[in-house]
Structure 1
Amino acid sequence: MNDQLPGRDLSRTKPLFARALTTLQQFLHVEAVSGVVLLVAAAAALLWVNSPFAQSYHDLWNLPVPLRLGEFTFERSLHFWINDALMTVFFLVVGLEIRRESYEGALSRFDQAILPVLAACGGVVVPALIYLSFNAAAGRDQGWAIPTATDIAFAVGVLALLGKSIPGNIRVFLLALAIIDDIIAVLIIALFYAGGLDPGGFAVAAFGVLMALGFQRCGFGSAYAYVVPAFIVWAGFLMAGVHPTLAGVVLGLITPVRSANPEIGPPVIRVETALHPWVAYGIMPIFALANAGVSFKGMDLAGGAQFVTLGVALALCVGKPIGVIGATWLAVRTGWCRLAPGVTWDGICLIGLLAGIGFTMSIFIAMLAFTDDRLLDAAKLGVLFGSLISVTLGLGWGAEYAQRRRREIGD
């Protein structure tokens, strides 16, 4: 009789465990929670870097972390491994979502898919012009590209805070726009702030892509089989002088959307589902903690530096929405493009406001644009202010939009 007791207890435990596991899985897939985690991590970084323990913040992210393969050693800072390696997984998930939507979703039609491209171009040109209107003077004009890039991780995280009332196609539009935005930013860096691109690196990346496609053709279903080609693509982009995280986008875009075995689902969906909680609750908060630390100590905004701050901030929170919304309206008005199902002009306004969140790429460009620490600090302050204003406006507009959507659905 006693031998039956454990089994009886186990039978009672199994349903409880199953319910707990289901609840945990639902929690992990609620993007609104991930948005809160992301913003908490960003706030923690700001508090940390402006506290008496600020030096420990910088020491942590500058900690050298070596990668050893036999006799080969590749050593970079912890900050590099987070921004240039770990974030590749985030971009992979972004690429997978774009791939899925381009196959049977909001980007499956050309007149819908080209719209984020035109919107991104408007969101690059207008902010640059606004910045230059305040900073045409020699020296300060080098920062014209700082407000041209959208921070995908933060923009998507803020959008997630608004919950499921926001149509999925708006998220897809924002993702596509932000990716194109970053590609344009990378090209700007290569053409105006770097010594050029290395063709040899692109050849290495192309070899990695061909290897991945070959594995697909041979029917390799295990994700582990693609680690080596993924690393080759990443290393190739790094060698070429392109931000290596774009390797994730490339690999996501070539992931199959059909499955040889219908019972297990398409690879593009399986991989995205598996990686989503890791990205939402691990990679993105770590990224925020490592990059949101902007120190206010010792800033000197005299001698024209104040115009750098003003120009960057206004270009992000005003120029980005005007550029994105204006280019979208013009493209739809002329009949070149059309909005995807579920995407309204209220939604386009929300996308435009969230596109003003610059942060990482903007700060990265600022570090390339200015050798003067005073101007660099001023630019970082402008990025922070412009991004915070964009977050506030985006959340305010988005909350009102989500409320209207819920009323419409309820009616």
Structure 2
Amino acid sequence: MSIPSYKRNVGLTQNLTERSLNAINRFLHIEAVSGGILLLAAVIALFWANTEAISESYSHFWHTQINFSFGEYSFSQSLHFIINDILMTIFFLVVGMEIKKEIHDGALSNIKAAVLPIIAALGGVVVPILIYLALSTDEIKSGWAIPAATDIAFAVGLLALLGKSIPSSARIFLLTLAIIDDLLAILIIAFFFSGGLEPIGFLIAFIGILGVIALQKMGFFSAFVYILPGALIWFGLLKTGAHPTLAGVILGLMTPVLTRPNEVDAIERANAAISNIRNKAIENSSAEIKALARAKREILPPVVRVKDLLHPWVAFIIMPIFALANAGVNFGNVNFEDTLALNTIFAVSIALVVGKPLGIVFFTWFFSKLGWGELPSDLSLNWVLLIGLLAGIGFTMSIFISNLAFVNESNILEAAKLGILFGSGCAGFIGLLFGFILLRSNKKL
């Protein structure tokens, strides 16, 4: 008996809706748990860097040289480089895929619904930058982009601590804002923190991009075949003087969002495999299980499949390792009598704690008054203020940018990281406190 087409369409729509909601919930859950692991990694890094008996080993360990050779080619880089420039490429790959997916069928696909979070994100970038520039002296103005970033893992993690009474629209607003924030931070890195550009590097990167396009046209859906052209893009960007982690963003934005043309055939094969498994003992169904796994790979869009595969690795391993390698500020290395160091700490922390919420709330209020967008009915400006406070947690991307801004100024770099840690900590604490007060006041109404 065949199922009427309209029922199939309704079922498909419901399935897609449920899948989208499940994807958002899964993403938020991973980010929430990851925030706790990130915090633990940062605390361990600070303890390691400031415990007299082992403090010297912190810097020595992360600058350990890793060497290997293949024929005439030899590779020699520090562990710090491998983490910041290679592993973080995978982080940016996931960010790029998340942006691509949200543009296609997520929070950014409906421009009317996305316009206010996008505007809020712009305010959360512009105002902190202006505050930093206003408070800083000429010698440290190169760090202007540090307070522009939001750490989505910490922000979502603290929002999750407030419980399920938080409006669902607040979570979506924060997620959309953080994704746009990441995109703006990526553009800042690409345009303002790339050195003298070498043309040969662009040629190598372009060949890598053509390789990706060619493989997609030939129908290769396995992620592994894209490692070689991806490595070419990474190496090309390194040669140009641009930051090589941008290769991850390029690959993420190039990842297909549509399934293979034979999706219906894959669904039928999956159903057949499930029927066969039901009729057999599970231990005798290895062929059917392999067929089911293969069909699943074909049914899921590559952007979903690869992102779901990499996201836990990024959230639970790569980002904590990055925090462990970069958050270890040795307070003894920060000269608190140095005016520049104090100015850096003050400018960064104030820009994060004050600039972020001020920019997000003001831009949201001002442009909604102009009629450019409308907040959801369950989302007042008080909730937007809470989101703004949590967005003041810069951490991962802020530390990443500080490494680029003060590459040859170790004292200022340590001060900037201290400002990030202090400002992010204050923003998180104030946000959490304000959130609990907001929830309590809402219960009394």
Instruction: Output the TM-score relative to the length of structure 1.
Output: 0.79
Instruction: Please give the per-residue CA displacement for 1:380-409, whole angstroms capped at 9, x wherever unaligned.
Output: 32222112112223334456678899x8xx
Instruction: Please give the per-residue CA displacement for 1:321-357, whole angstroms capped at 9, x wherever unaligned.
Output: 2123323333333233455898664554344223322
2:54 maps to 53
Give distance in 2, aligned partners of 1:310 and 1:94. Answer: 30
1:209 maps to 209
1:334 maps to 370
Change (3 A) 1:159 1:81: farther
2:425 maps to 388
2:302 maps to 267
Q: Is the 8 A contact 1:301 1:374 kept in 2?
A: no
Give distance in 2, aligned partners of 1:200 and 1:341. Answer: 53
Q: Secondary structure at the match of 1:139?
A: helix
Query: 280, 293, 297: which one pairs with 2:315?
Result: 280
Alpha-carbon distance, 1:291 to partner:
1.5
Give distance in 1, aligned partners of 2:155 and 2:246. Answer: 17
Give distance in 2, aligned partners of 1:274 and 1:129. Answer: 39
2:184 maps to 180
1:85 maps to 86
Q: Is the 8 A contact 2:333 2:411 kept in 1?
A: no
Tell me the matched-pair count: 378
Q: Is the 8 A contact 1:299 1:374 kept in 2?
A: yes
Q: Is the 8 A contact 1:310 1:382 kept in 2?
A: yes
1:43 maps to 43
Give distance in 2, aligned partners of 1:370 and 1:79. Answer: 13
Give distance in 2, aligned partners of 1:249 and 1:341. Answer: 34
Note if 1:299 corresponds to 2:303. Answer: no
Alpha-carbon distance, 1:170 to partner:
3.0
Give distance in 1, aligned partners of 2:150 and 2:81. Answer: 19
2:350 maps to 314
Note if 1:198 corresponds to 2:198. Answer: yes
Alpha-carbon distance, 1:254 to partner:
2.0
Query: 400, 404, 416: which one pairs with 1:379?
Result: 416
Instruction: Output the TM-score relative to the length of structure 2.
Output: 0.73
Change (3 A) 1:253 1:381: same
Q: Is the 8 A contact 1:359 1:384 kept in 2?
A: yes
Q: Is the 8 A contact 1:98 1:172 kept in 2?
A: no
1:354 maps to 390
Q: Secondary structure at the match of 2:193?
A: helix
Q: Is the 8 A contact 2:352 2:394 kept in 1?
A: yes
Q: Which runs of 5+ in 2 are unaligned?
A: 1-25, 268-298
1:11 maps to none
Give distance in 1, aligned partners of 2:33 and 2:133. Answer: 38
Query: 341, 356, 361: which one pairs with 1:325?
Result: 361
Give distance in 1, aligned partners of 2:376 and 2:216. Answer: 31
Alpha-carbon distance, 1:153 to partner:
5.4
Give distance in 2, aligned partners of 1:235 and 1:105. Answer: 32
Which amino acid letter does the alignment assign opposite residue 331 of structure 1? F
Change (3 A) 1:54 1:266: same
Change (3 A) 1:265 1:203: same
Percent identity over the alignment? 48
